[in-house]
Amino acid sequence: MEYYHILNFKKEPFSNSPEPEFLFQSPQHTTCLQMLELAVRLRRGLNVVIGDVGTGKTTLCRKLIQNFSFTTADSPEIETHLLLDPELSSTQEFLQTVSLLLGIKGFDSKQNEWHLKERIKNYLFSKGVDEEKIIVLIIDEGQKIPKACLEVLREFLNYETNNQKLLQIIIFAQKEFRATLNKRNNLSDRVNFLYYLKPLNFRQMREMINYRINLARESDSAQPLFSFWALALIYMATRGYPRKVVSLCHQVILMMIIRGKKKAGLILVKNCISEMAKPLFIYAKWATVSILIIIVLVYSTIAFFNQYLAADSFEQKTVSAAVSNSPVNSSNDNFPAVQNIDNKMPGNLGTIRVSEGSTFWQILKNIYGNASSDIVYTVLKANPQIKDTNKLLSGTIITFPSIPADYVALKKGDLLIQIEGGKDMENVYNAFMKDFYRQSMPPLVFFSFWNKREEGIKFAVIIDKCFNNIKDVEDEIGRLPAQFTARTIILSEWDENTAIFNRKILPR
Go through the chain and tell me how many residues it has.
508
pLDDT computed for residue 308 by the predictor? 39
- C-alpha span between 54 and 273 (Å, rounded): 18
Cα angle 16, 98, 175; round to 5: 50
- C-alpha span between 412 and 28 (Å, rounded): 10
Report the run of H or E that residue 351 belongs to, with start and end: strand 348-353
**Contact (CB, 8 A) for 275 and 251:** yes
pLDDT computed for residue 323 by the predictor? 27
Percentage of residues in the chain having pLDDT higher than 90 = 14
Split at pLDDT 50, 70, 90, the class of 59 is confident
**Contact (CB, 8 A) for 369 and 405:** yes
Q: If you average pLDDT over every residue of the chain, what do you get?
A: 79
Mean pLDDT score, 151-162: 89
The interaxial angle of helices 228-238 and 266-276, nearest 10 deg, is 20
**Contact (CB, 8 A) for 397 and 351:** yes
Report the run of H or E that residue 135 belongs to, with start and end: strand 134-139
Domains and CATH numbers, the chain: 3-9+201-309 (no CATH), 27-197 (3.40.50.300), 348-500 (no CATH)
Mean pLDDT score, 286-312: 49
What is the chain's alpha carbon radius of gyration, rounded to the nearest angstrom? Answer: 26
pLDDT: is 216 or 102 the higher one? 102
pLDDT at 403 over 80: yes
Exposed / middle / buried, residue 109 (Cβ in 10 Å: 0-12, 13-18, 19+): exposed
- C-alpha span between 51 and 171 (Å, rounded): 11
pLDDT: is 353 or 440 the higher one? 353
pLDDT in tens, 436-471: 566 667 889 999 988 877 778 899 999 999 988 888
pLDDT computed for residue 3 by the predictor? 57
Exposed / middle / buried, residue 384 (Cβ in 10 Å: 0-12, 13-18, 19+): exposed
Furthest-apart CA atoms within the chain: distance in Å: 85
- C-alpha span between 195 and 287 (Å, rounded): 35
Q: Which of 354, 350, 349 is nearest to 396 (CA)?
A: 354
pLDDT in tens, 223-282: 778 888 888 888 888 888 988 888 888 888 888 888 878 788 888 888 888 766 554 344
Exposed / middle / buried, residue 350 (Cβ in 10 Å: 0-12, 13-18, 19+): buried
The sign one gets for the Cα dihedral 169, 175, 177, 178 is: positive
**Which residues are paired to 204 by β-bridges?**
none
- C-alpha span between 188 and 184 (Å, rounded): 6
- C-alpha span between 493 and 42 (Å, rounded): 21
pLDDT at 298 over 80: no
The sign one gets for the Cα dihedral 403, 406, 409, 412 is: positive
Split at pLDDT 50, 70, 90, the class of 371 is confident
**Which residues are paired to 194 by β-bridges?**
48
pLDDT: is 193 or 440 the higher one? 193
**What b/e sequence results for 417-440 when a residue is b if at least 16 CB atoms lie within 10 Å of its CB, and e otherwise?**
bbbbbeeebeebbebbbeeebeee
Counting other chains too, the contacts that 251-257 makes at CB distance below 8 Å and 24 or more residues apart are 251/275, 251/276, 252/226, 253/4, 253/7, 253/13, 253/14, 253/225, 254/3, 256/7, 256/225, 257/3, 257/6, 257/7
**Contact (CB, 8 A) for 197 and 32:** yes
pLDDT in tens, 408-425: 667 777 889 888 888 899
pLDDT at 152 over 50: yes
3-state secondary structure at position 421: strand
- C-alpha span between 508 and 467 (Å, rounded): 6
Q: What share of the chain is helix, strand, coil (3-state, %, to 5)?
A: 45, 15, 40
Split at pLDDT 50, 70, 90, the class of 156 is very high
